[in-house]
A and B are shown apart, each in its own frame.
Chain A
């Protein structure tokens, strides 16, 4: 079953990922991205990361992407304009992407060490309890720091987005 699910959702993820890039309209991209995230959530589940999978859905798909869609709708963004001025991106962009892909592929092919395999249910260390325990013991400080970060982000977002009071 596992390989099947993996291949299915991997295919969805890649296809939708490509779609994110190819779609001209941001809403389409956003929805494709939601699909990518959802399929990734399934892949997380396959690896026993229940909590993170749910968090992925709630935070990414449920909050962040809704925010994106909200903004797209608010700005009533249309399809992308095609005129561009970036000579660097024009000349080097595609080679750089191909280079990156090639380099990654090459080194993953040659340099990848012996890795194990993933089978659903063979590791149950990713439940809410385990994550929560680690989060509030070993990783308490980063957790608190991120809370401060979030607070700052909220304040920053409000300051940025509010209409000028004058």
Chain B
């Protein structure tokens, strides 16, 4: 009775209206439709579904129609809402609304305005589908759908080859992940005979560990694709080719966290596959460190935040991997706040600098864009884990859990936290402090952009107090008991953050020559990191190039044209060769034909006679 279908359908209607009629609509109408639909959806979630639900162990479940049925296998278009979903719904619709509002300002001067909002609305539709799904297949619909929208939005500036290439890369890499996810689904069907969450999770504890491990690992592949984990993270930095609101919404706040959501959703399976859990944690940790190191060297402001996103997602996976699902979700939420803010702020900065993204051409913007400066400071504090900010709580929860799991993970996490604080604040200093190094005169963004920033700034700072996710989710993911070292651990992580901030202050405000010197000193290592460890190039050389060259040279030209067609044509030419010999009999001389005929009939007569044909 809560009409759950309204939640995704409202943005979808927005998509249809803007997509089909958008070209002829005035901008105001487009804005109204785009923002209105998402806002309506948010309000429906927040005001109707949320409060009036009976939140017990039960969850809302709605079955709309059977989508695929074959034999005894049925998959329905089912939605379900529980607390986890509720949190995700709030994040997606809430932040989505803010970013939509922001985008009306940011995209004001861009072409394809209606198209942009149509895509955004479509994204909302799929994302909500993903979140609302009551079975894996519907989740997969959303999963692929958001990938589609990601592709469309990354390639929004389709005149730029780099943009469309990045879009392709995103989609294809995601496909690799989806492949894993799909395989996981197949195993689930084989094992459980259904894809609905309820029966699967009910039966999961009784299933063999090997199967569960396989399922979990395959899911991890899917999640790694979507959430940009090693080894499938490569698409995310490139995805920054899309407009900045897209980066904020899709590539920071919502879509990329779908992997975390899925793992949390499948917690039962993961919990019964400890080996898989370890792998999740390791991958998360590795990604966190790895991306952080790259983030330190980048100069493109969006790339910095992109690697930061990768790194933070690694944190979340660390949380999931060590069993702290609720901490992961918490960090997911806080990260949504501050990273969206960071991106939107970066967008505001880019807006201020007339599209410039290189931080070396910025500087001193605190004069020209004070509000932006303030909100970005808030976000930066949050991500650095400054005590009291939202990031502080969630990150601390994860690190604590990691310490319980394995202390060395904690220490790596702390170092990463320090690095995070360092590169985020490095970006902050480079952008707002010092002298303006760019061209033109920077300006502050309009109010329509700043307002959402402020809302997000408040959430970044206060989100930790406002939403205590582990508490909310304690039905699903039981709280861990307090451990004695907790306060000490908290202090260490805070200290790491502060050290990072201080170092960046020293290197980019006080002693500006130092970074160059260090870079020179490190030499090759620096260049390696600066080139993102040349992973893209390695992938190109190891996978893409051989595949294309091999397909072209070996499969197409050799196997297809050479061997198969060659064999077929060879049969033909052999037949012709035989014919060339046999045609000597075909001398054109009728008498010789007659001779052959007679000789042949003699043979036939003899054969028939011997075989008893003549009687």
Judge A-B direct contact (beta carbons within 8 Å).
Answer: yes
> What residues make up the interface of A, taking CB atoms closer than 8 Å to B?
84-89, 92-93, 96-97, 99-100, 103-104, 106-107, 110-111, 113
Say which residue of B591, B605, B609 sits within 8 Å of A93 (CB atoms): B591
Say which residue of B599, B605, B615 sits within 8 Å of A104 (CB atoms): B605
**Which residues 131-153 of B have a CB within 8 angstroms of A?**
none
Q: Is there contact, CB below 8 Å, between A88 and B591?
A: yes
Q: Is there contact, CB below 8 Å, between B609 and A107?
A: yes
Q: Is there contact, CB below 8 Å, between B587 and A88?
A: yes
Given A103-B605, A103-B606: A96 and B599 interface contact (C-beta under 8 Å): yes
Say which residue of A86, A96, A111 sits within 8 Å of B614 (CB atoms): A111
Given contacts A88-B589, A107-B605, 17 further A-B contacts (CB under 8 A): A85-B589, A88-B585, A88-B587, A88-B591, A88-B592, A88-B595, A88-B596, A89-B594, A92-B599, A96-B599, A96-B602, A99-B599, A104-B605, A110-B609, A111-B609, A111-B614, A113-B615
Say which residue of B587, B602, B609, B614 sits within 8 Å of A99 (CB atoms): B602
A84 to B594, CA, bound (A): 15
A90 to B601, CA, bound (A): 18
B25 within 8 A of A: no
18 A/B residue pairs, CB under 8 Å, sorted by A: A84-B591, A86-B589, A86-B591, A87-B592, A88-B585, A92-B596, A96-B595, A96-B599, A99-B599, A99-B602, A100-B601, A100-B602, A103-B605, A104-B605, A107-B605, A110-B609, A111-B614, A113-B615
> What residues make up the interface of B, taking CB atoms closer than 8 Å to A?
585, 587, 589, 591-592, 594-596, 598-599, 601-602, 605-606, 609, 614-615
A86 proximity list for chain B (CB < 8 A): 587, 589, 591-592, 595
Could you tell me the dominant secondary structure of chain A's interface residues? Answer: helix
Closest to B590 in A: A86
Tell me which of B595, B596, B606 has the highest count of chain A C-beta atoms within 10 A of its own C-beta.
B595
Q: Is there contact, CB below 8 Å, between B591 and A111?
A: no
A84 to B602, CA, bound (A): 24
Say which residue of A88, A93, A111 sits within 8 Å of B615 (CB atoms): A111
Q: Is there contact, CB below 8 Å, between B598 and A96?
A: yes
Closest to A103 in B: B605
A148 to B594, CA, bound (A): 29
B596 proximity list for chain A (CB < 8 A): 88, 92
Closest to B606 in A: A103
- Nearest 7 Cβ contacts at the A-B interface: A88-B592, A89-B591, A111-B614, A96-B598, A86-B589, A86-B591, A99-B602
A110 to B587, CA, bound (A): 37
Closest to B594 in A: A89
A106 to B602, CA, bound (A): 12
A85 to B609, CA, bound (A): 34
Q: Is there contact, CB below 8 Å, between B614 and A93?
A: no
Q: Is there contact, CB below 8 Å, between B602 and A89?
A: no
A107 proximity list for chain B (CB < 8 A): 605, 609, 614
Q: Is there contact, CB below 8 Å, between A93 and B602?
A: no
